[in-house]
Each structure stands twice: as structure tokens, then as C-alpha cells.
Amino acid sequence: MAKREISEINAGSMADIAFLLLIFFLVTTTMDTDTGLIRRLPPPPEDIPENNDKIKQRNIFEILVNANDQLLVEGEYIQVTELREKAKEFIKSSPSFPNVSDASNAANPNLPEFKAEEIPVFGNILVSKQIVSLQNDNGTSYEMYIKVQNELVAAYNELRNELAQQKFGKSYDELSQQSGSSESIKEKMKAIKKVYPQRISEAEPKKVGGTE
Amino acid sequence: MSKFRKKGKKGQPAVNTAALPDIVFMLLFFFMVTTVMRETSLKVINVTPKATEVSKLERKSLVSYIYIGKPIKALQGAFGTAPRIQLNDAFKTKEDIFQFVEMERDERDEAERNMVTWSLKVDQETKMGIVTDVKQELRKANALKINYSTKKTDMIQN
């Protein structure tokens, strides 16, 4: 008689319990993949020989950010949203780049000069002598600082994409996605990086606005 | 009444194992989640700014975090509202960063010591003064590979 009493355990709600737990853990824990803007700091001051070779004013893209988060770019007061275009124009140095032959860039007196450089895939070509100089105040908000940094990185990235598109028919982002498979793609990426190297120099901040 | 009773067939049903996969998955997810969970508890308000050009940090084991921001509400009574630096689980001053860098390096394998990325998790309302101080300290400690932790967004506002 007792034998027959064994009946099926109702497991219909087991799946629900499992899902409930699963969802609970998914919600409560942050799958925190850290993302951000990766930068390299210059080495400690004593290591670098004072390198004050006069860099010509025209080769420097000067950005000042004051304590009120206002931007002064090349002596002109602009909004952050305009920064990307300005930076691109400057870094490119000549609207017709890379088809340039005049190293002194006489046609665009306000934009940087070029210098001849040996680059893996492209051979010997002229690249811009651009340097971006960024100076902020101690009172500048971090949010603003990141916006400026972001726009500068974006300017470089867009230019790299354009150049890669023009030369290889693929944007730089697409190349970097495929770079795992092929050495030649890595070479191409290196070449593009060399044409548009990220040169962002940060000056010591001023203390005009005062700290909080 | 008899209607219902008819249905019940006699015989021994097999134990239902339909939920077994669920249990296994549950355990799997549990372990997946708990093993990554160890993280320092935040003592500062930390809302990182947004940016469009972000990249992912590749190897988590090679990332050390430095938090900067105002102390959280519960601690503001004791520590005030001025932005502070948090290393591991405690408030520290910028002078402690050098030591922190050395300690973090010691925890890693010899070959990987120079590959550590220092992720600055800075609250967006912080002023640059303290951030610059931290950066200078990092330079002194020769910790040059840094990351400004930001969230991804499609557009930045003015």
C-alpha cells in the first residue's frame, strides 16, 4: 500500500526558483568592465633632458581651459562641440593631406609644417609636426577635462579612420578588429598611427581660479 | 468527484529530472558571479564622466584603481565634503600614493610589474587640482600608464 503512495515530486516551480536566483545575482552584482580613456603620462621630470628646442608657435595647437570651464583654443573662445573639427583641421595640417609636397606648408600659414618621415607601408612621406598642448586650471572640473580629452582623441581617431579608408578601403576601427588574424594589417595600423601620432602635451596647471 | 479519480494511473513514475539543468546553471552562474565580486567598498561619491572614445581595459588583474571624489553622505560628518583620495579601502593623502604604487606592484608577477594600468576613477564634479596632484605623484612613482575611467556614451553635451 505504501509503495503506491510514492508520487512524482512536483518540480515545475524549480525552474522559476532557479531563474529568480539567477536574476537576483545578475541584478545585484555589477559586471563591471572598466572602460575609459587610456593615456600615458610623461616620465618623471628628472629623466628627460630639458628639451626646449624652440617648437614653432604654428606647430602648437594651444588649448586653455579656465576655472569656469571655458575653452580658449588658439586664442579663440569656442564651445567643446566645436573643438573636434578645429583639432582635426589642425592635425591634418592641410586640407589636401596626404597629397602634399610643400614641407613648409606655405599655403596654410596658420597650420603646422610638415617633415619627411620614413613610414613602413607608405614609404617616405610628409607628416605634420603637430603638437596639441593642453593647459587647464586647478579649478577646472574633471568633467570638462575629460570632454576636452575625449574630443582630442576623437579627432585623432576620425583622422586615422579617414586615412585608412582612403588608403586601404577600410576604416582604422575595422582594421583593428581584424588585426588579430594578420601581420600585414598590424603593419598598416602601425603606419597609420605613425602618420597621425597622438601628441597631447599637458602643461602644469595654473592656480588662478583657486582650488576647492 | 469520480471524474478526477479516473485520471490517476497506477505505477511508479520516474523521478523528474527536468529541473536538473536549471540547478546546474544556477550553480554555474553563482560561481561565475561570486568569484569576480571581490571589490573594495566605495567611500567616495563616484560618478565617472561620459565620453565617446572609450576603450576597454583588457586584463583586469593588471588594473589598479584610485578613487577620487567627495566622501559619501554617511561619512561626510566625519570627513567633510572636500574631495578625497581612496586607495583600497581607506582615505589616503597624495603622499601615500607612492607607497600604494609600490605595494600594488609587489603583488604582481615580476614580468608584469610594468604593465599595470592605473585606473583613475574620478567623480565628475571634482576639480582638476587634486587630479593633477595625483598624476604628478604617479609620475614620480613611474606609474605612467593611466586610464581615465569613463562611461560610454554616443554624444557629449556642451
- Please measure the distance between the N-terminal and C-terminal CA atoms of chain A and give it in whole angstroms: 83
Cα–Cα dist B97/B63, whole Å: 15
Domain membership of residue B143 as a residue range: 50-152
By CA distance, what is B9's nearest residue in A? Answer: A4
Which of A74, A176, A79 shows the shortest CA–CA distance to B157?
A79
Residue B21 included in any domain: no
The owner of cell 568569484 is B35
User: B146, A40: Cβ pair inside 8 Å?
Assistant: yes
Q: Which of B13, B53, B140 sits opposite A153 (nearest CB)?
A: B53
What are the chain B neighbours of A34 within 8 Å (beta carbons)? 56-57, 60, 63, 119, 147, 149
Residue B25 included in any domain: no
Averages of pLDDT over each 10 residues, chain B, 158 residues: 57 75 72 62 86 83 88 88 87 90 89 87 90 89 90 77
Say if CB B118 and CB B66 are below 8 A apart: yes
Indicate the domain borders of chain A: 55-202
Helices (H), chain A: 2-5, 14-28, 80-92, 142-168, 172-178, 183-195
Structure ipTM: 0.73
Residue B24 included in any domain: no
Torsion of CA B5, B11, B12, B14, to 10 degrees: -90
pTM of the model: 0.76
| pLDDT (0 to 100) of residue A29 | 63
pLDDT in tens, A13-35: 666 777 677 777 666 665 566 78
Cα–Cα dist A187/A168, whole Å: 12
| pLDDT (0 to 100) of residue A212 | 41
| pLDDT (0 to 100) of residue B7 | 55
User: A150, B150: Cβ pair inside 8 Å?
Assistant: yes
Over the range A153-166, which residues count as b (16 or more CB within 10 Å of their CB) and which as e? bbbbbbbbbbbbee
What helix, strand, coil percent values describe chain B, rounded to 5?
Answer: 40, 20, 35
By CA distance, what is A155's nearest residue in B? Answer: B53
Sign of CA dihedral B30, B34, B37, B41: positive
CATH at B142 = 3.30.420.270
Residue B105 included in any domain: yes
Residue B68 included in any domain: yes
Residue B19 included in any domain: no
Q: How many domains does chain B have?
A: 1
| pLDDT (0 to 100) of residue A211 | 44
What are the chain B neighbours of A2 within 8 Å (beta carbons)? none
What are the chain B neighbours of A204 within 8 Å (beta carbons)? 132
| pLDDT (0 to 100) of residue B70 | 92
B35 shares contact with chain A (CB less than 8 Å): no
A150 shares contact with chain B (CB less than 8 Å): yes
Share of chain A above pLDDT 90, in %: 3
Interface size between A and B, measured as CB pairs under 8 A? 170
The owner of cell 479519480 is B5
Instruction: Report residues of chain A scoring pLDDT below 70.
Output: 1-4, 11-15, 19, 25-33, 45-53, 207-212
Helices (H), B37-112: 73-79, 97-107
Residue B26 included in any domain: no
A78 shares contact with chain B (CB less than 8 Å): no
Residue B10 included in any domain: no
Let me know if B108 is exposed, middle or buried by CB neighbors in 10 A (0-12, 13-18, 19+).
middle
